[in-house]
Amino acid sequence: MSEIQSIIKSRAQSLSARLTAIRRHIHMHPELSFEEFETGAFIERTLAESGIASTTVAGTGRVALIHGTKPGSRVVGLRADMDALPIEEAADRPYRSTVSGKMHACGHDVHSTCLLGAAIILQELREHFSGTVKLIFQPGEEKLPGGASLMIAEGVLTAPKVDFMIGQHVMPQLPVGVTGFRPGLYMASTDELYLKVIGKGGHGAMPHFNIDPVTVAAQMIVALQQVVSRAANPAIPSVLSFGKVEAKGATNIIPESVWLEGTFRTMDERWRAEAHERIRNIVDHTAQAFGARAELEIRKGYPFLQNHEDLTLRCKSLAEAYLGDAQVEALGIWMAAEDFAYFSQAVPSCFYRLGVRNEARGIVHSVHHPQFDIDEDALPIGAGMMSWLAISVLNA
């Protein structure tokens, strides 16, 4: 183990109690996407305690710089998201959410805490690295258009220009102490589908006088699955799912319309655009065939996330040196989406996973679950890892 690696590990562990307190404060005071005013102010105050000045970007986000004292001009960006979800926390913990209907169920409190911990460590170790670390505390990951896109539009990747981006995200499937990496294609693009099928309502016993939007919607759902099963290249991961179907009729009432909401996800931009056209054609032609009408909105979301091959392999190797080979796993493709993808499309990036699972303590629930929690031993690991990766990439 190198001297700097040993210093980082020791300093991260000594911060454990403080990191736990920071995480619990953020967890107890969740704010939804683009409403992170108090969270941003808390982050600003915490950075200031270590002598780190920050500026506001994208309304509620914060950005700060830490300059190494060794000669060098590289800039590495470290990103954490800050927003919570509209979920009522179900578990009874002393640090449960104090805000009804809002909860940090995706670990963004953890991400912000780990980046604050990394900031404290990096500020103390400036003589050990060259170049600059740009700390990016991002709002609105959970809501389109995504805070990453807004921060990029406001110049977060410039002045100084960012050469590499690193992001860390909790993963409840990985035990605490384990991290996961995947070079290349990792996460999917995400588009939201909003569809209204309009027919002619009436008595259920007299369907010949009506145009039944329920059966038309059913035909559409079945037909649209062929976009993935028959039109898509099997080598390109694709998913089309409808999670909401609302028909406000009754046992003997055919409704006037049916409302559907769904998602389309893939990992190829050309196919993504083609699939959108196929979805529109199937919806329009199916409606026409049955004498109905359809109104479809495809709300384009985040692009696919592609980790830079060389940078990610380098970070994986660094993680093995920091944690041990057995504590670093190779990840598979994941069809969830993340607006860190905007960073990955702009500069060489590495988005990796931090294990937070502890089955012995019942910490097993997935993200977006009302009982989601983490083993807080992950906090100094996450803070130390971000510090180690940033210093190592800058000094390479």
Tell me which DSSP letter residue 152 carries: H
Catalytic option among 109, 141, 375, 376: 141
Cα distance between residue 343 and residue 150, in whole Å? 11
Residues 6+ apart with CB under 8 A from 339: 140, 141, 146, 147, 148, 149, 302
- Position 45: which residue type? R
- Structure tokens belonging to residue 308: 């830079």
At residue 110's C-alpha, the angle toward residues 40 and 128, to 5°, is 85
- Position 255: which residue type? P
Cα distance between residue 13 and residue 177, in whole Å? 13
Tell me, rounded to whole angstroms, the distance of Cα 352 from its chain centroid: 11
Cα distance between residue 92 and residue 109, in whole Å? 18
Backbone angles phi, psi at 67, to 5 degrees: -100, 130
Tell me, rounded to whole angstroms, the distance of Cα 45 from its chain centroid: 25
Q: Per this entry, what is the length of the chain? A: 396
Catalytic option among 83, 212, 268, 338: 83
- Structure tokens belonging to residue 318: 């660094």
- Position 160: which residue type? P
- Structure tokens belonging to residue 373: 């929690």
The gap between the terminal CA atoms of the chain, to the nearest Å, is 17
303, 309, 313, 315: CA torsion to nearest 10: -50
- Structure tokens belonging to residue 375: 């083993």
Q: 160: cis peptide before it, omega within 30°?
A: yes
Instruction: Give the H or E element holding residue 264.
Output: strand 257-266
- Structure tokens belonging to residue 223: 């037909």
Question: Burial, 251: exposed, middle or buried (Cβ in 10 Å; 0-12, 13-18, 19+)?
Answer: exposed
In the residue annotation, 141 being an active-site residue is answered as yes
3-state secondary structure (DSSP) of residue 103: strand
Active site members = 83, 141
